Amino acid sequence: MADVAILVNRVYAGAEQGLWRAGAERTSADEICRLTLAGEIAVARLEGRLVACVRVQHLDDMTGEFGMLAADPDHRGIGIGRELVHFAEQGCKNYGLAVMQLEVLFPREWSHPSKEFLATWYSRIGYRKVRTGAIDESYPHLAPLLATPCDFVVYNKGLR
């Protein structure tokens, strides 16, 4: 569990640089342990080495959501991220869910290169922006940890 938490925190520290105050971490070994026991964590390995992970959950009878998608920077651009998204989609589709959803955090007043990459990448793999929410309204406990005003954008894709 600790290696998954370390990967997620390392990847997000780069991908969300400037968004969070010093000391804020995306996850912890305890949280990964709880999510793994709930069956929500999938990982990708290359020759036994952990290189990527994703969290998949069922939000309701219709909707799945994935998050905590993180690929090791040394193994990017070779399709691991796309395969993990595909794995998440297939699992939810096989379970009978109709829609896959995800949320991306964007700084409100400036452009973050990782987030711009994600917006293009998710659109290329079939996701459409459905709404924007203010983080202080939906996740008030996270708002004090932000270093800059942020919004989250919800994307979804039909699975049928």
Ligand X SMILES: CC(C)(COP(=O)(O)OP(=O)(O)OC[C@H]1O[C@@H](n2cnc3c(N)ncnc32)[C@H](O)[C@@H]1OP(=O)(O)O)[C@@H](O)C(=O)NCCC(=O)NCCS
140 binds ligand X (CB under 6 A): no
Residues 19-78 that bind ligand X (CB under 6 A): 69-71, 76-78
Question: According to CB under 6 A, which one of 45, 59, 79, 148 is a site residue for ligand X?
Answer: 79
Question: According to CB under 6 A, which one of 47, 113, 124, 144 is a site residue for ligand X?
Answer: 124
Would you call 132 helix, strand, or coil by DSSP? strand
To the nearest 10°, the Cα dihedral for 123, 73, 149, 151? 30
E strands in 28-120: 41-46, 49-58, 63-71, 99-107
CB closer to ligand X out of 46 and 96: 46
Spatial separation of the C-alpha atoms in residues 80 and 42, rounded to whole Å: 12
133 binds ligand X (CB under 6 A): no
Binding residues for ligand X, rule: CB under 6 A, are 11, 15, 69-71, 76-82, 102, 104, 114, 118, 121, 124
